[in-house]
Amino acid sequence: MGWVDGLYSAGVLRLVWVTHPRHLPKAPAGRAVVVDVAFAAAGQWKNKTKPFIDALGDRLAMYVDHHEHREAWPLYIDDPRFLLVQNRVAHACPELVTPELCARLGPVDVVVAHHDFDGLLSAVKVVRQGKAPWPEADEDARAIDSPGRGHTLSAVGARLALAMDESAVVMERPAALAFNTRLATALVDGPSLPLVLDEEVDALARAARRAEDEARVVVDNRGRLEAPGVFVVRVGQKQDNRMRRNLLVLAEERASIGALWEPDPQGGAWMTAATFDQQLDLEDVDGFEGGRSDYRFARAHGPGTDLVDALSRLVSAAPRLAS
């Protein structure tokens, strides 16, 4: 399963992690806040996200998200239980979890959060009544979740984000989610971690930095500008989430749009595209149904040259932005 419960303090508040919008838990007992959990892509939200929301019903204290879904969001945007803000406005979710928002929530029993740096900080801020665990935390979340948009990453944020990325790769899923819970629980009290956890974070962060260096070699050797404004990296096997993110960030640095082609072990292939440019909405490209405006993925037929060409047309439609 893509989720696991974790206890904060003496069972005062439960944390539930979601690894993918399609992999939601059963609606937890009690009043819940959901943070940074995207609606499942395209029409899948109807049998993935909607049943979860319906099961929570009036027990949903607030659903906070910044991954725009053009079909689903209009149905919920005026619902007082939802705070839905486009990524081009909210570059990360924690900035939406304010003291004013938390004051409106009332008693909360469980926080359901996306299993990434952005989601973790959002959950921690709910527990802390909207207060960031360190001064630069919101900016760090923006730098990690929306790279290339001018945000500054602090040393504290870089270290924790790298450790989380590495834990998701080297640990079995239950252990990685448990690590997330331990990290979130510690951060409720501020950025200083217990010694054992501190040493674990350091070791994971060092390994993640080595992975960044490996990704740079892959991009140098397997990437090229395949169409105007589109730099594509093609790999021979499915990548883990950390490597996929590293490859895309490096590809984005070389063109208006960075893209990654990778085979699907179950057949076919995937094309993932990303852009630093807020004025390019990748959802405008046919086939790219999953994700958000600056990061989307599509099923690729063969080498996916049709998708690359379509991405290039998006760039050329805004010639002043073309690389």
Both 228 and 278 in one domain: the answer is yes
Q: pLDDT, tens digit, for every residue of 38-50? A: 999 889 999 999 9
In a domain, 121, yes or no: yes
Q: Hey, what are 222's tokens?
A: 């397997």
Both 43 and 163 in one domain: the answer is yes
Q: pLDDT, tens digit, for every residue of 220-244? A: 999 999 999 999 999 999 998 889 9
In percent, how much of the chain has pLDDT > 70? 95
Q: What pLDDT score was predicted for residue 75?
A: 97
In a domain, 204, yes or no: no
Both 47 and 107 in one domain: the answer is yes
Number of domains in the chain: 2
Both 151 and 221 in one domain: the answer is no
In a domain, 205, yes or no: no
Question: Is a pLDDT exceeding 80 seen at residue 188?
Answer: yes
Question: Is a pLDDT exceeding 90 seen at residue 320?
Answer: no
In a domain, 199, yes or no: no
Both 104 and 236 in one domain: the answer is no
For residues 99 and 129, give the distance between their C-alpha atoms in angstroms, rounded to a whole number: 6
Write the CB contacts of 13 (distance below 8 Å, at least 6 apart in sequence): 108, 109, 110, 111, 127
Q: What pLDDT score was predicted for residue 64?
A: 98
Q: What pLDDT score was predicted for residue 321?
A: 41
Both 86 and 168 in one domain: the answer is yes
Q: What pLDDT score was predicted for residue 242?
A: 85
Both 227 and 259 in one domain: the answer is yes
Average pLDDT over residues 199-212: 96
Question: Is a pLDDT exceeding 60 seen at residue 323?
Answer: no
Question: Is a pLDDT exceeding 60 seen at residue 284?
Answer: yes
Both 141 and 221 in one domain: the answer is no
**Residues of the domain holding 24:** 5-193
For residues 229 and 282, give the distance between their C-alpha atoms in angstroms, rounded to a whole number: 13
**Residues 104 and 28 sit within 8 Å (Cβ to Cβ):** no
Q: What pLDDT score was predicted for residue 237?
A: 96
In a domain, 277, yes or no: yes
Write the CB contacts of 109 (distance below 8 Å, at least 6 apart in sequence): 13, 14, 28, 29, 30, 31, 32
Both 236 and 163 in one domain: the answer is no
In a domain, 200, yes or no: no
Both 260 and 179 in one domain: the answer is no
Question: Is a pLDDT exceeding 90 seen at residue 69?
Answer: yes
pLDDT band at 1 (very low <50, low <70, confident <90, very high): very low
In a domain, 125, yes or no: yes
Both 79 and 179 in one domain: the answer is yes
In percent, how much of the chain has pLDDT > 90? 82
Q: What pLDDT score was predicted for residue 319?
A: 55
Q: Pairing between strand 269-274 and 110-114?
A: unpaired
Question: Is a pLDDT exceeding 80 seen at residue 208?
Answer: yes
Q: What is the CATH number of the domain that holds 280?
A: 3.10.310.20
Q: What pLDDT score was predicted for residue 12?
A: 52
Report the b/e string of 288-317 with b at 16+ CB within 10 A.
Answer: bebbbbbbbbbebeeebeebbebbbebbee
Q: What pLDDT score was predicted for residue 148?
A: 84
Q: pLDDT, tens digit, for every residue of 273-282? A: 999 887 898 9
Question: Is a pLDDT exceeding 60 seen at residue 8?
Answer: no
Q: What pLDDT score was predicted for residue 3?
A: 35
Q: pLDDT, tens digit, for every residue of 131-185? A: 999 999 999 999 999 988 899 999 999 999 999 999 988 999 999 999 999 999 9
**Residues 111 and 33 sit within 8 Å (Cβ to Cβ):** yes
Q: In 113-240, where does DSSP find H-type helix?
A: 117-127, 137-145, 155-170, 173-187, 195-222
Both 15 and 67 in one domain: the answer is yes
In a domain, 52, yes or no: yes
At CA 112, angle to CA 242 and CA 13, rounded to 5? 120
